[in-house]
Each structure stands twice: as structure tokens, then as C-alpha cells.
Amino acid sequence: MLQRVRHYKDQNYRKLRKACQREKVLFEDPFFPITDDSIYYNRSPPGNIEWKRPSELCTDPRLFVDGISSRDLNQGSLGNCWFVAACSCLATEPSIWKKVIPDHKEQEWDPRHPASYAGIFRFRFCRFGSWLDVVIDDRLPTINGRLIFCHSNDIREFWCSLLEKAYAKLNGCYEALEGGNTGEALVDFTGGISEPVALDKENYSNDLDKRKKLYQNLLKAHGRRSLISCSIRPESGDQLEAQMGCGLVKGHAYGVTDIRKVRPGVGLLSFFKNEKLFMIRMRNPWGSTEWNGAWSDGSEEWKRIGQAEREKMGVTVRDDGEFWMNFDDFSAYFTDLVVCRQINTSLFSFHKTWVEATRLSEWLVLAHPLQNRSGGCVNNRDTFLQNPQFVFNIPSDDSALLSLQQEDRRLYRKEGSGQNLSIGFEIFRVELNREYRMHVFQEKVTGSTYINARSVFLRAELKQGSYIIVPSTFEPAQSGRFMLRLFTEMPAKLRELTLDQPKPSFWSCCLGYPKRVTSIHVHSAAGLRLPESSRLPDAYVEISSEGTKVKSKVHKSNCNPDFDLKGLFYRRNEKKPIKIQVWSSSFLRDVFLGQVSVAAEQNESGSSCVVQLLDKSNRQHPLGSLLIEVTSNDDLTAL
């Protein structure tokens, strides 16, 4: 869903365009002037650069010629194959490119009304959760009358050149686009989340079942407007962008432009065959240099496919950079895959929908331990919990998608500080009623890898309960802003924990300030014994202390339920026991099964024990037993 759009540099496209039309002048962008600084910051230009408008390069300029296609683009002399590959993906999905190039018909040259042309264009990118309208003029860098950067096969078509210029403006200059991850541009185009897949490390080429499952997932993702790119990771000592014997190029980004299952055969015979070919199509941003193995342009394998099907697939026999491969060969040669998903958050959908929660925060370097918010990764155990902490709830066992995105730093390359921080996060299971920051390590459930990419993604299967995410930089004492996004099936109530402990108040003066914080973890019930005529209980457990209460989910028809319930209690009267009660859920009223009181002598930190359930009068009529774990911290005042 498109959010409110902000004007980059406060440049309003419509106002600027009307002003130029009124004054009968062509727009000149003061924020991206036609100087060498707009092109390079670290080296000299490769020749005598002249900035020319499209009308100076051809007689009939157009934004699009015969529509938009992934075959339109050629990379040029800038090392930004990652961006051009992303543009190839963009061109395959109308619902996305029409968002990136808004009101494209209005921006098109109109030969019938030449006076309306104002030399101004706008493009739209999603940055850090906000959509930005980026305005540019149409002056493009050339040498000897030819465009030196991204350009179309047709000299009259300029959408890709203008889009690249807008992206260069957003990032400071053209040179700032050299070297990058295709997923970065795909996220900027869609506002989605980037999911990387390491094909070699996860052994897809040798595992048929995994490979089939991945193909089905990619087919589904492509059908749901996800954008996909791939690359071959160079090994140590390899020359960057060196061509392999098979025609593929290492260290080079390719855009995936189609995925489809194909039946071999000609005409009606193909429908009676059970065989299916798993095919994937890619495009080299260079506009040439293709795969030369099986199913390459003009290869013998295409004789197995009818002419009509080949035309439907767009098979061409020319070196235009676009080619097909079967998925087995693809998995054997390519090492990395990036899937940029647009997560479905619509309430009106036939597909699975997700609930999104987004929070912005930052890593801050401060001297005081309780104020510092940059403690480094979990290897720095003394400082890790000083990082920002976010709590969320999973109402029932559920999948969760998590994305951590740092602020783009490419804009600061001119200043020598444009490198991404190495970032990641850890997830801990905590007490169901956790309201304050965690100061002691708890059960780690999962975590991401730490990489120096703009975003990190993780898909996790989580049980019912409360969790804390701790995003961090790999090294301590590093500053930066970040955005955390969480997608779950049910609302997760994601929020940042900012307080270390309860604040003193008027009531704490009257009733006393908490002296002890105690964490209770109730694990399992062993052998709840009931009369033979009774059905198995729908049991749940409840923990209460000084007016605070937490309750587990109901375990249906189970004599040995694993309650796995954690509660946190700030206690003014440490001698007053904590009460744990087991109940059986019923339609009319819940039935009491037994209870345990955790007395002061059981409050030693880290103790665990098996205790018998008693009746409400604490008489020795055990119905079973509970395994509980107690963790206490007496030193609240030390925080």
C-alpha cells in the first residue's frame, strides 16, 4: 500500500513544471548541477563530458518506445550492474514500475503540444519506510554525443537513463552507484523486504527435494509480483566480472525476468506428456554475453518445444543479454539469489495475509551503561544488552518474518564514510508480561547472520509467548539509524522497551518500592491424576503475585501438558509466596486442579525443582507435579 509521499529536497514536481511552462524555459536542477561533482568524487571523468538533453541526441525522444521491457537496458561504463539488473526486474512488473515512474503518460513527450515540455521528470523510491518523489532535469552526461551510462537499445528511448540519474541524485552522484547489492535497489523500488538465498551453501544443486521446493517457492513469488535477481559469487583470487567458459560472468548481477514450467512436445502431444521442464529466464545488464549451455539461444534443446510455446516464452536467437536455463543448471552455476517480496497485508485477499509492525530507532554511543545503545553483537556479553530492545507477542504458534534495515550510507561516500555497518539481531524468549528492558540473558530462540548489507532478513517459526529482539551492529560503539519490520499472522504488538525498571510514583511511596524481581518459568505437569470417570483435562496454568497475573494457553485433553509459561514479578513483599495454580478449562466454569506456592526459601536465583500440586488448603492430596524454574535479582537499585 502506497504511503504518503515526501518531496525530496522539498522539490514539488507539479509546481516546478508549471513554473517552467509559464516562463517558457526548460528546468535546470540546482540540487544536481551539470558538473563533474555530480558524476565522480574519487576520480577524473573518462573524457570530455557534455550534458545534453534528449532532443539534442535524437529528433523524436520518448520516455518509452513500444512500452517498457527488460530488454531495453544496457549498462554503460558505470560499475552498477546491480542497479541495472534491478531495473530489468522492475520492467517485468507493471504494478511496480508504474509506482516508480508515476504518471508516466503525463511525463511522456507530446509532439502535439511541444510547448508543454518543461525538461523535468520525477521518479519515486522507497527509503527507510518513506516514499520519496525525486525530481531531475533531462540533461544527461555524454561523450562524443553518446550516453556514457545506462541507455536503451533504441536511441529515442530515455526512461532507463532518466531513472538512473534520479537514483544517482538520491545517492549523491553517479560514482556512488558503483558496487552494490541488487536487493538494495529492489527494496527501493518496492518498499518490500529482501530475502537472500545462498544456493551453494544450502546445497540446492545436490538435493533434488530442496531444489524442487525452492523452484515452487520462486514460481509462487514471481506470480505474486516479487522481484528476483541472482549472481555467481567470485572465489578468492578470481578476476571480478570474468567470463566463464559457459558464458556466465562471476561477480555480476543478473535480473530474473521469467519463471515457468514448460511441457515438451509439439501441439496437442505436449498435453499428453507428464514431463515438465523447470525453466528460468535471466538478463545480463550488459545487453550481451549470454549462457551458452543447454537451452541457450539457438541450442538443440529448443527443438523439443513447439513454435507457439517458444513465441509465448519470448525465445530469441540474438545476443541481447536475455537467456533461458533449466533450473538444475541454474542451481549448479549460480551461488546467490535475492527475492524481494511485497508482503501481502491486504485484508481482502485470497492469499495468506500478514500483519506488519514497523519501528524506527538508532544505535547511540553514550558513556553511561544504562544510556548506551550500541553494545555490539552477542560476543560482547558485557555490553550486548545495552542495545535497543523490542518486545512482541505471538498469540499462537506462528511464522514470523523479520527485516532489519539500516539507513542507507551510500550518500556519504564522498565524505569517506559510506560503507554499510555489519548488522544483525538476536531473538530471546522472555516472560509473558515483560514490560522493562532485559538485563540478564534469557533463552535464545534464533538469530540472524551479521552482514554488512543494508538489510538483514530472517524467517522464524515461533511458539506462543513473548519475545525480545535485540538488533545490533557487529562491533560495539557504532552509531546509526535503523528500521525494524515484523510480519506475523496475528497482531504482535511490537514496541521498544525504553525503561530499565518501574518508575517511582506516589503509590510506590505509600506501598513501597519493589525490592526483588523474580522470574518464574513453569515447564511441565507430570501425571495429573483424576478420577477414572473424568475426561482428560483442558489444562492451563496461572501464576500470580501481588495483584499481577499471567496465564498460559489451554492444553486440550492432555494429562502431561508442557505449559512453558514465563512470568516476571516486581515484588514489594519478598516473603509473600508466589502462587501457581493449575485449572481445567470448561464451558460453564473452570475447575481448580491444584496449586503450588513458591516460598521465600525457593527464590534462590537459577533454582529449579519438581513440586507437588496441593489443594487450596495446602493439604497433601497431590494431583500431580510441576517442574518450575525460579530466577531472582535482588539488586534493583543497582540498575
Burial string for 457-473 (b: 16+ CB within 10 Å, else e) reads bbebebeebbbbbbbbb
284 is catalytic: yes
Question: Three-class SS string for 6-42?
Answer: EEHHHCCHHHHHHHHHHHCCCCCCCCCCCCHHHCCCC
Instruction: State the Cα–Cα distance between residues 613 and 168, nearest whole angstrom.
Output: 69
CA-CA-CA-CA torsion sign (372, 376, 377, 382): negative
- CA atoms in the 13 A half-sphere facing the CB of 108: 16
Instruction: State the Cα–Cα distance between residues 138 and 121, nearest whole angstrom.
Output: 7
Backbone φ and ψ of 556, nearest 5°: -70, 130
Contact of 82 with 181, CB cutoff 8 Å: yes
Instruction: State the Cα–Cα distance between residues 101 and 88, nearest whole angstrom.
Output: 14
304 Rama class: left (phi>0) / alpha (psi -120 to 50) / beta:
alpha
Q: 190: which residues sit within 8 A by CB, 6+ positions away?
A: 96, 126, 227, 340, 342
Instruction: State the Cα–Cα distance between residues 308 and 315, nearest whole angstrom.
Output: 10
* Single-letter amino acid code for the residue at 247: G
Side by side, which strands form the sheet with 495-497? 443-447, 423-430, 465-473, 389-394, 495-497
Instruction: State the Cα–Cα distance between residues 174 and 167, nearest whole angstrom.
Output: 8
Cell output for 199: 544456493
Distances (CA, A) of 169 to 30, 124, 235: 11, 12, 33
* Single-letter amino acid code for the residue at 179: G
Contact of 313 with 322, CB cutoff 8 Å: no
CA-CA-CA-CA torsion sign (474, 80, 319, 88): positive
Q: Which of 181, 284, 420, 603 is catalytic?
A: 284
Contact of 603 with 518, CB cutoff 8 Å: yes
Contact of 99 with 178, CB cutoff 8 Å: no
609 is catalytic: no
Q: Which of 20, 87, 171, 252 is catalytic?
A: 252
Q: Which of 590, 544, 338, 571 is nearest to 454 (CA)?
A: 338
Q: Which of 185, 17, 200 is nearest to 115 (CA)?
A: 17
Cell output for 531: 478420577
Contact of 31 with 11, CB cutoff 8 Å: yes
Contacts 24+ apart (CB under 8 A), 614-623: 616/592, 622/529, 622/594, 623/528, 623/529, 623/530, 623/582, 623/593, 623/594
Instruction: State the Cα–Cα distance between residues 412 and 359, nearest whole angstrom.
Output: 24
618 is catalytic: no
Q: 374: which residues sit within 8 A by CB, 6+ positions away?
A: 363, 364, 365, 386, 387, 472, 473, 476, 477, 478, 479
Q: Which of 74, 80, 81, 89 is catalytic?
A: 81
Instruction: State the Cα–Cα distance between residues 17 and 121, nearest whole angstrom.
Output: 9
Active site residues: 81, 252, 284
